[in-house]
């Protein structure tokens, strides 16, 4: 009987140990765009990689299309610890980490290769470290893409054509200041409210990367697209800092590596969308202005640039402009 009791105890311990070994922690991550988007690909890849790299001990549950709240709300939730992770554009980020504002200066980046080199290099890594003191852990820079303008009123070929248009902007002070420089009537609002606002005529237009314009079906409520490429919009994987700090060193590495894989998938989708989106939008009835004189747009922003140099420092802006 004694040996039976000992056997039963040993079995119970083994069962409990097995249960502990296979205990799974579920975390949530959210985006503002639909699953079938460059952001959806990013978080789906991240979730798969986290589970694989932690042998199933951590599971990341993705949520799409602002189902856990708009970008600012989701970022606040991650900061507070009521949500573990989010993937967001840079729209609301300056409200949490003001230093990041510099990345949103119009016409700062030459092309995707330049922007990616900056974010993957020392400048981007220095900015990631700024999140630590704000209750946030920046896991990796990803991207939203170069932003272009759409509207329902008229073709935009020159900066003068923008004057008087009522356009939704991100809740980002740099964007608002720059677009006012074009004579745009800016209307900051959450992305989750945008489609309905355009559908109802509350705003005439908006500006977003091609990946967002196509995945969000803006062709249904916008007639005109101009490939201005006026701002490069980063995106970022964010995690609650306390939740990250609780991870083992091996699991911290797993989350960071999973974010890098998410970035690879995200950028690949942006590249694919850039190649196909314009033809797709034309086929759906949008009128596209695909060639502009960027120097005219930059000249229109001369007073704004002067203020940006005071805000950020000319040396800091030049460091980004001249990065290779």
pLDDT tens-digit readout, 40-64: 999 999 999 999 999 999 999 999 9
How far is Cα 169 from Cα 157, in angstroms, rounded to an integer?
A: 20
pLDDT tens digits for range 256-294 = 999 999 999 999 999 999 999 999 999 999 999 999 999
Max Cα distance, the chain (Å):
93
What percent of the chain is predicted at pLDDT more than 70?
93
Categorize the per-residue pLDDT at 15 as very low, low, confident or very high, splitting at 50, 70 and 90: very low
Query: What pLDDT is stored for residue 17 in this prediction?
Result: 46
Cα separation, 54 vs 21, in Å, equals 12
Closest CA to 149 of 281, 17, 266, 22: 281
pLDDT of residue 23: 84
For the chain, first and last CA: distance in Å?
76
149 contacts 156 by C-beta, under 8 angstroms = yes
Q: Over the stretch 98-122, which tens digit does the pLDDT of each residue have?
A: 999 999 999 999 999 999 999 999 9
Mean pLDDT of the chain: 94
Would you state the pLDDT for residue 7?
A: 52
Could you give the CA distance from residue 257 to residue 251 in angstroms, rounded to a whole number?
A: 10
pLDDT band at 171 (very low <50, low <70, confident <90, very high): confident
Residue 74: which CATH number?
Answer: 3.40.190.170
Total domains in the chain come to 1
Q: Give residue 185's region: left, alpha or beta (phi > 0; psi -120 to 50).
A: beta
Q: How many residues does the chain have?
A: 324
Stretch 306-315: mean pLDDT: 97
pLDDT in tens, 122-149: 999 999 999 999 999 999 999 999 999 9
Mean pLDDT (whole number) for 64-85: 97
| Owning domain of residue 265 | 2-321
- Asked if residue 29 lies in contact with residue 139, where contact means CB atoms within 8 angstroms, the answer is no
Q: Can you give the pLDDT at residue 20?
A: 47
């Amino acid at each position: 009987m004694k040996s039976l009791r000992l056997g039963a105890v040993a079995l119970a311990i083994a069962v409990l140990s097995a249960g502990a070994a296979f205990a799974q922690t579920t975390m949530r991550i959210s985006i503002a765009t639909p699953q079938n988007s460059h952001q959806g690909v990013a978080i789906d890849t991240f979730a798969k990689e986290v589970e694989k790299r932690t042998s199933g001990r951590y599971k990341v549950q993705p949520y799409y299309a602002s189902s856990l709240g708009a970008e600012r709300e989701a970022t606040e939730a991650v900061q507070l610890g009521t949500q573990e992770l989010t993937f967001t554009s840079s729209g609301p980020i300056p409200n949490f980490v003001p230093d990041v504002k510099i990345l949103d200066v119009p016409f700062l980046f030459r092309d995707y290769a330049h922007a990616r080199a900056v974010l993957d290099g020392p400048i981007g890594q220095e900015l990631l470290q700024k999140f630590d003191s704000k209750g946030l852990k920046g896991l990796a820079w990803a991207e939203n893409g170069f932003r272009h303008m759409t509207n329902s009123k008229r073709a935009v070929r020159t900066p003068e054509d923008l004057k008087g248009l009522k356009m939704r902007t991100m809740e980002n002070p740099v964007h608002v200041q720059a677009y006012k420089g074009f004579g745009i009537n800016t209307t900051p609002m959450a992305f989750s409210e945008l489609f309905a606002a355009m559908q109802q005529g509350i705003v005439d237009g908006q500006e977003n990367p091609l990946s967002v314009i196509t995945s969000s079906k803006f062709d249904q409520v916008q007639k005109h697209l101009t490939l201005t490429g006026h701002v490069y919009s980063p995106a970022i994987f964010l995690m609650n800092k306390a939740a990250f700090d609780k991870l083992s060193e091996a699991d911290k590495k797993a989350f960071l590596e999973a974010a890098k894989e998410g970035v690879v998938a995200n950028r690949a989708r942006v590249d694919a969308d850039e190649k196909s989106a314009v033809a797709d939008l034309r086929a759906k009835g949008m009128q596209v202005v695909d060639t502009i004189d960027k120097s005219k747009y930059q000249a229109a922003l001369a007073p704004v640039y002067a203020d940006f140099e005071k805000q950020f420092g000319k040396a800091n802006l030049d460091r980004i402009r001249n990065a290779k």
